[in-house]
Structure 1
Amino acid sequence: METEYEDNRPVWARNFNHGCLLPQRAVITLMGFFGLICAYTNRVSISFAITKLVVPINRTDQNSGVCAPEEVSDDGLGINNGSTYKWSEQLQGLVLGSFYIGYLISHLPGGIFSDKFGAKWILGISILMSGMCTAFTPLAVFFGAEWGLIAIRILMGVAQGPIFPSLTTLLAYWVPAKERGSLGTFCYSGVTAGIVVCNICSGQMLHYFRWTVTLITFGFIAGVWFIFFILLGTSTPYDHPCISPMEIAFLAKQIPKKSVNLPIPWRQILLSKALFAAIISQIGHDCSYFAMISYLPKYMADVLQFSIRTTGIVSTFPFIAMWASSLISGLMADWLIRTGKMSINSERKLFTFIGALFPGMFMVAASYAECNKGLVVLFITLALFTMGPYYAGQKLTPMDMSPSYSGTLMAIINGFGALAGLISPPIIGAMTPNATMYEWRWVFWLGLVILVLSAVFFCLWGTTEMQPYDPNFSMQNV
């Protein structure tokens, strides 16, 4: 379907017929990728910092359900003497989960504003504010202890809530349907890449410097990203000063023009069975994934008894595997769809189910490996490797279901998924009061059940078909 477009670029830009060296949809995707790296280093770094803030549990019983500690000492600059706060596992769960209180609040407004006014500034300001909250976290702790930390984490959640909705809106304007598997998955893989960067850098920085350095560094980098993004990005291809006429004509043909003035069809959206299926799938995935993000460093430090530096290195392997898997899955998804071997609907469902069943199975297997540390790390790595296909599955469906309201749909779906992030850390804290491997085994079994049930629900009732409430639905079926 060909779509006419209005060239709103400045005169000098319209005369610049060759564009830039790279296709601008690739540049936008790359900036989104780096933006998510910034967002997730901000979000996850507290999981490492808290191991330096909190006095570890004093274990005197040799049968306490944890492994023998690593003999390598974290002497560094004596930073391991800086643990000051005697916070219970339940309180630490509240601290780690408080982020999602604010995250829930700003999700839907972020999606609505992105769909109506454009995603550029909403995405940019969200990541900038997230970086500022991260950089100011040490002050919040010094002046307010646990309550100061909870407050700044809630504010960071408010800042990050619009990120996924606005990024989805941005990709819906820039990435054609047949490239969503590769470009969309690459962009969203910034989540996993951010965790990899955080794990590697946090472990090293916490070994050699005070915990405050880690947070200030990640906050500053988010500010640098903001400057580059504002200079290089636009909400739509039609406003970009450096896009080639060939690329803008291509995008105009491939992506339906969106009207920003139409009212949002709330009733049709909220009564959609496909939306409900996507929400259930998101909640199931996020229950497991957010638990891994928040608790993997603590599990390796408290249960497997790795040193903080080793924890930073070893906990990176699973997320590197997941990042590689998500990229491979994206390329494979595009190939399956492009060659006609599988429909978009079938591909999304298959990859979603793979990304749920196998991760749950491998996490349960890890709990039965007990103190065989090498085997535990292998199973956890396999768990996250097999979770990679999720990003070429259900995660792309808001753009498939309604390009015109993709930001709003992502806000609803991801917002409900954030409930998992809000409730899972306190629940895990309550289930693991002594942080033993036997308590964690029940956590992993529960995760397997939730993952599989949510994926089955999506496979039965989810869809990638454009929904009737999208303004382009009637034109698509002409």
Structure 2
Amino acid sequence: MEKTSDWRGKLAIPCIPQRFVLAIMGFFAITNAFTMRLCLSVAIVSMVGNRVGNSSNSSAQVDLDPNSCPYPPVIEGEKIIPGEFDWDSETVGLILGSFYWGYIFTHLPGGILSEKWGGKYLLSIGILSTAFLTLISPYAARLGPGWFIAIRVLMGMGEGTTFPALNSLLAQWIPVEERGFWGTLVFSGGHVGTIVGNALSGVLVEAWGWESAFYFFGSCAIVWFIIFTLICFSRPDDHPFISDKELEFLHERLGDTVTKDLPPIPWKSIITSVPLWGLVAAQVGHDWGFFTLITDLPLYMSDVLHFKIGKNGLMTSIPYILMWIVALSSGYFADWLLKKKYVSVVNVRKIFTTIASFFPAVGLLAASYAGCNETAVMIIFTVFVGLMGTLIPGMKVNALDLSPNYAGILMAIINGLGSLTGIATPYVIGVIAKDHTALQWRTVFWIVFGVMNVTNLIYVLTASGEVQPWNWGENRRPVEVDEKDGQRDEPESYCNTRL
């Protein structure tokens, strides 16, 4: 068969399934979103006060908290400075949480529009707008905290469409037996974004100042936008260089659950769905712990362990390296369990979600009792927090199980309500840990422990792995499944590109 004459066909990578290309670009979308969101968490340590070199020596800093670790010795040529901005802990908490004020408002509109028009442009324009706002963040910070907060709110609005749009794309492109791995790969972009955002921000800040982190990550997101808009499409039928074999395969695997022309959204059935609210509870619990880590762990490392900015960025990124590895391996394992029919879909989701809730909560508490042994603290953080990666093949892809047709809307509701914790946690921590003491931080981690375990219990009692009756509208449409030995065969070749 002749190749398409469409100029975009020249961009096709021979023999690589386009659904995998979409998933990989989705992974980089979330990676970029998180680096732009989180570089502030490291940069703000320097913005409000950090010890830097190339100046005259000064006396060692005095720590009034007997439970905190001693400061490292002041080396020659280093001095203690207050930082460029004189912001107290509550102001810092407001700034860190302000991103989520905007984030929650665009989730539901993003979900509705992604189902109606497809997720491609909703995702790409959201990332592009966030990139521009990231680039002007240093200027806004110098105008004052109010301006900086306003920019962070707008950034949140730009990124609020990310997860609903991606969920809509995955529902259109990824069959159920591949969602464990490829869904995990996409959503694990948050882990990689956290790793890169924390580690590289510390290096950039030490080398070129706190502004450099915003300039670098904003520029990377613009590069992603250009590539994504050229090679990815909302639906398989819209793709100009997808192979006939892959298109046929996706029609077979998704044709009975994904409808292009949907009836009116069954809002009543969605809002009254018990499994949906179980997912909301699980998301709230996870986000309470995760947002505590990604927004405030650098502050904990500075307040209690007294890490300097470069070491702080590196150390806070280490747990997410294991989290990413755990996410990918557990996603593959979840798919294997489902393909072998050893465990039902709902039990796979429950088991992996419970692991991601209980053990990280225990790890945070244990680290707060580990004293000043840096090695012990980092091992505990890394091992236990790393297990949070099992959440993705657990509850994170569960919305795709419940309703492929309305996956974007479900993700908007789940992630949108969960993101309320992104507003609450930085402010709560700013109030509780206002004196920056180890005991105050321990109280913070006890709260995390309680929230994560209570919400997980709610999820376990209410979860479902079945496609819900309202997936096709208010009136149930029976699902016709044509399977061979429980699985449809993979296409023999993806190299036959359609005209």
With the shorter chain as reference, the TM-score category is: over 0.9
TM-score, normalisation: structure 2: 0.89
Matched residue SS, 1:315: helix
Q: 1:383 offset after TM fit, Å? A: 2.3
The AA in structure 2 aligned to 1:329 is S
Structure 2 match to 1:285? 286
Find the counterpart in structure 1 of residue 40 from structure 2.
46
The SS at the match of 2:15 is: coil
Q: Does structure 2 retain, via aligned residues, the 8 Å contact 1:281–1:455?
A: yes
Map of 2:350 onto structure 1: 349
Q: 2:323 aligned with 1:322, yes or no?
A: yes
Instruction: Look up the match of 2:55.
Output: none
What is the DSSP-based 3-state SS (H/G/I as helix, E as strand, rest coil) of the residue aligned with 1:87? coil
Change (3 A) 1:432 1:250: same
Q: Report if aligned partners of 1:359, 1:383 keep a CA contact under 8 Å in 2.
A: yes
Distance in structure 1 (CA, Å) of the matches to 2:41 and 2:148: 12
Q: Which residue of 2 aligns with 1:100?
A: 100
User: Structure 1 residues 51-60 or 33-42, which shifts more?
Assistant: 51-60
How do 1:5-84 residues align onto structure 2 when only pairs under 5 Å count? 20-55=14-49, 60-61=62-63, 63-71=65-73, 81=81, 83-84=83-84
- The corresponding residue for 1:6 is none
1:19–1:245 contact (8 Å) kept in structure 2: no
Query: How far does residue 60 in structure 1 lie from its aligned partner after superposition?
Result: 2.9
CA contact (8 A) 1:117 1:260 kept: no
Equivalent residue number for residue 367 of structure 1: 368
Q: How many equivalent pairs are there? A: 466
Structure 2 residue aligned with 1:150: 149
Contact 2:63 2:70 in 1 (8 A): no
CA distance in 1, matches of 2:478, 2:190: 35
1:476 to 475, 479, 492: 479
Q: Please report how far the alpha carbon of residue 474 of structure 1 lies from its aligned counterpart in structure 2 after TM superposition.
A: 2.4
Q: Which residue of 2 aligns with 1:141?
A: 141
For 2:208, the equivalent position in structure 1 comes to 209
Work out whether residues 284 and 454 of structure 1, in 8 Å CA contact, stay in contact via their aligned partners in 2.
yes
- What amino acid sits opposite 1:476 in the alignment? V
Q: Which residue of 2 aligns with 1:121?
A: 121
Does the aligned pair in 2 maintain the 1:19–1:243 contact within 8 Å? no
Q: Secondary structure at the match of 1:466?
A: coil
Corresponding residue number in structure 1 for 2:185:
186
Q: How far apart, in 1, do the equivalents of 2:43 and 2:382 lie?
A: 23
Residue 351 of structure 2 aligns with an amino acid whose one-letter code is L
Q: AA paired with 1:95? A: I
| Structure 1 partner of 2:341 | 340
- For residues 134 and 274 of structure 1, the distance between their equivalents in structure 2, rounded to whole angstroms, comes to 37
The structural deviation recorded for 1:20 is 2.6
Q: What do residues 146-200 of structure 1 show as CA deviations (whole Å, max 9, x unaligned)?
A: 1111111000000000000000000111100000000000110000000111112
1:66 CA drift (Å): 1.8
After superposition, the Cα gap between the structure-2 partners of 1:137 and 1:423, relative to the gap in structure 1 and judged at 3 Å, is same
2 CA distance for matches of 1:194 and 1:75?
Answer: 34
Quote the Cα distance in structure 2 between the aligned partners of 1:422 and 1:344: 33
Cα distance, 1:354–1:217 mapped onto 2, change above 3 Å: same
- 8 Å CA contact 2:98–2:153 kept in 1: the answer is yes
Q: CA deviation at 1:14?
A: 12
% identity of equivalent residues: 38
Partner of 1:232: 231
SS at match of 2:30: helix
Q: How does 1:191-270 map to 2 (within 5 A)?
A: 191-256=190-255, 257-270=258-271
**Aligned with 1:475: secondary structure?**
coil
Distance in 2 of aligned mates of 1:442 and 1:15: 57
Structure 2 residue identity aligned to 1:39: A
Residue number in structure 1 paired with 2:87 = 87
Aligned pair in 2 of structure 1 residues 168, 439: CA closer, same or farther (>3 Å)?
A: same
In the TM superposition, what whole-angstrom CA distance separates every residue of 1:86-116 from its partner, at most 9, and x where no partner exists?
2111111111001111001111000000001
Output the CA distance in 2 between the equivalents of 1:440 and 1:285: 19
Distance 1:147 1:21, change over 3 A: same
Which residue is 1:309 aligned to? 310
The answer on whether the counterparts of 2:8 and 2:231 sit within 8 Å (CA) in structure 1 is no
Residues 198-239 of structure 1 show CA distances to partners (whole Å, capped at 9, x for unaligned) of: 112111111111111110110011001000000010001111
Q: Which residue of 2 aligns with 1:5?
A: none
Cα offset, 1:64, TM superposition: 4.0
SS in 2 for 1:371: coil
In 2, Cα distance between equivalents of 1:370 and 1:151: 38
Q: Conserved in 1, the CA contact under 8 Å of 2:179 and 2:335?
A: yes
Distance 1:41 1:445 in 2: 28
Larger proportion of helix: 1
User: What amino acid is the match of 2:87?
Assistant: W
Per-residue CA distance 1:437-476 (angstroms, 9 max, x = gap): 1111111111111111111111111112111111185232
Structure 1 unaligned residues grouped into runs of 5+? 1-8
In the other structure, the counterpart of 1:173 is: 172
Instruction: Tell me the amino acid that sits aligned with residue 427 of structure 2.
Output: P
CA contact (8 A) 1:74 1:207 kept: no
Give the Cα–Cα distance (whole angstroms) in 1 for the partners of residues 274 and 160 of structure 2: 24
What SS does structure 1 have at the residue aligned with 2:279? helix
The SS at the match of 1:105 is coil
TM-score by length of 1: 0.93
Contact 1:196–1:320 at 8 Å: present in 2 too? yes
| Alignment CA distance shift 1:284-1:60 (3 Å) | same
Q: Structure 2: state its 5+ residue gaps.
A: 52-59, 482-499
- Aligned partners of 1:166 and 1:315: how far apart in 2? 29
Q: Which residue of 1 aligns with 2:437?
A: 436
Paired with 1:104 and 1:303, the residues of 2 have a C-alpha distance of: 32
The letter of the residue matching 1:339 is K
Q: How does 1:407-426 map to 2 (within 5 A)?
A: 407-426=408-427
RMSD: 2.2
User: Which residue does 1:396 correspond to in 2?
Assistant: 397
Query: 1:13: how far off?
Result: 9.2
Aligned to 2:388: 387
8 A Cα contact 2:286 2:452, kept in partner: yes
User: 3-state DSSP class of the match of 2:129?
Assistant: helix
